[in-house]
Amino acid sequence: MTGTEAGESGAFGVADDWSVDHAALRDSSLGLLGSLDLRRVVPGADAGGSRTHDVFEARHQRIPSGRAYGGEIVAQATDAVTRTVDAERPIHSLHGYFLRAADVTLVTTWEVERLRDGRTVSSRAVRGHQDGRVVFQGLASFQVLGKGAEHAAPMPSGVPEPESLPTSAEMLAGTNVRDSEYWGHERSFDMRHWPSPVYVQAAERESTEIDGNLPQHQVVWLRAYDRLPDDPRLHRTALAYLCDYTMLEPALRRHGTAWADEGLMTASLDHAMWWHRDARVDEWIAFVQESPAASGGRGIGYGRLYTRDGDLIATVMQEGVLSLPGAGG
């Protein structure tokens, strides 16, 4: 199947219907699949009739903040560019900037420019906009798989098995913060933190203090709630989708802050991702994360994604606005 053929609505086995019952999103991956149900608009062409750009439309999952989830934005950008490249050239990197928040009630239009199709590498530019205002812009690269040197950073030892850890829903049981239902049940993925998550309660200093400071690292196990279609392009795109949920959490952990703390403000600024090998997101994936730096009202998140067997499948980095409660953050 070519990239063009893959671009039709419902290509990943999603019903060609943009109306989703909100209740059906509970403990389900329908939010993920629905957000990747891009609809193709008539592709553009140059004077000679060769296609130079493609246009898609996408809708967003409704979430409490009213702003589209950043990982959904990255995944839609990834999906749009992927649909313009032949399947034998998988995506290997994407670099993009979040330019403004996207409104979950509006359709986002994705424009893809076909910059180059070389012998083994293809390059694409992608821009998402709502009502004429750009919300995201990025560049992506695709390559025919080749042979060469291989190495990978090992997965940390001593990480608990996901079955031994409580779910996000279990950790949020009995809380009444605004986002608890969304955090616990509507994120398309079963998520289990180690150490304990910082949804409502900040990291515990007594049990996690290192050299006088709280740690700036964590591991999150993730697995799609539902069995997903077998298309490897969907699983690559879904990796982009899940990454933004917890990218800044190590920085919050380091500074003793929880998501529910009054006065906390975060926003993704940019996103860079490299895909190393294929894996299924409906099987357990360990997201090993840390925050190497925070300054100037911004924080850096760095993460490596591993299969349960310890294969490194992707690397991701992000900088985001990080305004902590209290004077001076």
Which residues are the active-site residues? 244, 268, 318
Q: What angle (nearest 5°) sits at the alpha carbon of residue 299, between those of residues 222 and 225?
A: 15
Distance CA 74, CA 136 (A): 8
Judged on CB neighbours under 10 Å (0-12, 13-18, 19+), 35 is buried
Beta bridge partners of 286: 221, 306
d(CA 71, CA 240) in angstroms, rounded, equals: 6
The CA distance from 80 to 57, in Å, is 9
Burial category of 74 from C-beta neighbours within 10 Å (exposed 0-12, middle 13-18, buried 19 and up): buried
212: Cβ contacts below 8 Å, ≥ 6 apart: none
CA-to-CA distance for 256 and 250, rounded, in angstroms? 10
Nearest partner of 108 among 89, 145, 79, 133, judged by Cα: 133
- Given a contact cutoff of 8 angstroms between Cβ atoms, the answer to whether 213 and 252 are in contact is no
Q: Are 127 and 134 in contact (CB under 8 A)?
A: yes
From residue 232, alpha-carbon distances to 79, 125, 178, 281, 282 in Å are 12, 22, 35, 10, 12
What is the Cα–Cα distance from 101 to 277, expressed in whole angstroms? 31
